[in-house]
Amino acid sequence: MNQKGILIVVSGFAGTGKGTIMKELLRRYSGQYALSISMTTRSPRPGEQDGVEYFFTDRETFEHEIAVGGLIEHACYCDHYYGTPRAYVDSQLLMGKDVILEIEVQGALQIKEKFPDTVLLFVVPPSVQILYDRLKGRGTESGEVIAARMKRAGEECAYIPHYDYILVNDDLDVCVEQMHHIIQSQKLAAARNATFIESIYSDLQSLSF
Ligand code: ADP
Ligand code: 5GP
């Protein structure tokens, strides 16, 4: 079977619960997945640590990384840069881990273009009211930032048809299990296992009954 890991993109409106889902997925299936840590120019929220949630950096350093090809994708979201460092993704895929990029829609499309085998998942809330309540209830953003993110959610909706699956984050447990099963099913796709199928074919051809 295919031993190399696969690349997965997880997107969703701010406050949908992506971070919460990622944490739980990694807790349950820690050996299987690697979560890419992005670089960003936004400031850390209370409790966030450099090198854990993000690599927090300034604009100049971020632009240097773009120039030297250190990011496999990048985008500007609500006035801040976000991007995926290349080295970690490459090394984890080679080690057989399934690598998850929790990124927004513009970055997702860049990844799909560069790596067409990527599985694209979009997490949606059960309703817009619940989305707003979660974003507000998290208590980490000002009213102004919440309004900008809700507005951006309206724009992001137009990108959902580019994704392979949507996942409704109503019950966290159900959502995490659905995500795990979608990813694992993708790994069994015949097209991803061509070498293995060829080896069976060739062994069958060499039989002499
Ligand atoms: P995102 O990473 O998508 O911006 P978070 O993971 O920070 O969102 O979640 C936003 C808020 O919603 C948090 O306070 C989190 O605890 C809560 N939350 C996440 N998933 C659920 C869920 N399934 N049910 C209820 N609350 C949830
Ligand atoms: P937040 O500031 O809430 O952590 O993230 C804001 C948005 O940026 C979210 O939609 C998140 O998925 C996205 N994001 C985080 N890291 C990256 C990245 O490396 N690239 C891109 N394109 N988006 C990212």
* Ligand closest to CA 41: 2
Q: Is the CB of 73 under 6 A from ligand 2?
A: yes
Q: Is the CB of 16 under 6 A from ligand 1?
A: yes
Collapsing DSSP to helix, strand or coil, 208 comes out as coil
Q: Among candidates 118, 170, 151, which has minimal Cα distance to 14?
A: 151
Q: Is the CB of 89 under 6 A from ligand 1?
A: no
- Rounded distance from Cα 65 to ligand 2 centre (Å): 17
Token representation of residue 158: 């137009």
Q: Is the CB of 77 under 6 A from ligand 2?
A: yes
Q: Among candidates 43, 65, 63, 62, which has minimal Cα distance to 53?
A: 43
Token representation of residue 209: 């009954």
Q: Is the CB of 119 under 6 A from ligand 2?
A: no
Question: What distances in angstroms separate CA 179 from CA 122, 136, 170, one per listed residue?
Answer: 10, 25, 13
The pLDDT tens digits of the residues spanning 62-109 come to 999 999 999 999 999 999 999 999 999 999 999 999 999 999 999 999
Residue 173 contacts residue 50 (beta carbons within 8 Å): no
The pLDDT tens digits of the residues spanning 141-153 come to 899 999 999 999 9
Residue 126 contacts residue 168 (beta carbons within 8 Å): yes
- Give me the pLDDT at residue 208, please: 86
Q: Is the CB of 12 under 6 A from ligand 1?
A: yes
- Rounded distance from Cα 197 to ligand 2 centre (Å): 38
Tell me: pLDDT of 1 over 70: no
CA nearest ligand 1 atom 10, residue: 15
- Give me the pLDDT at residue 4, please: 81
The pLDDT tens digits of the residues spanning 130-184 come to 999 999 999 988 999 999 999 999 999 999 999 999 999 999 999 999 999 999 9
Count Cα atoms within 13 angstroms, Cβ side, for 50.
6
Taking the C-alpha atoms of residue 85 and residue 107, their distance in angstroms, rounded to an integer, is 12
Best of 25, 123, 134, 152 for a ligand 1 pocket test (most atoms within 8 Å of beta carbon): 134
Tell me: pLDDT of 192 over 90: yes
Q: Is the CB of 188 under 6 A from ligand 1?
A: no
Q: Is the pTM of this model over 0.75?
A: yes
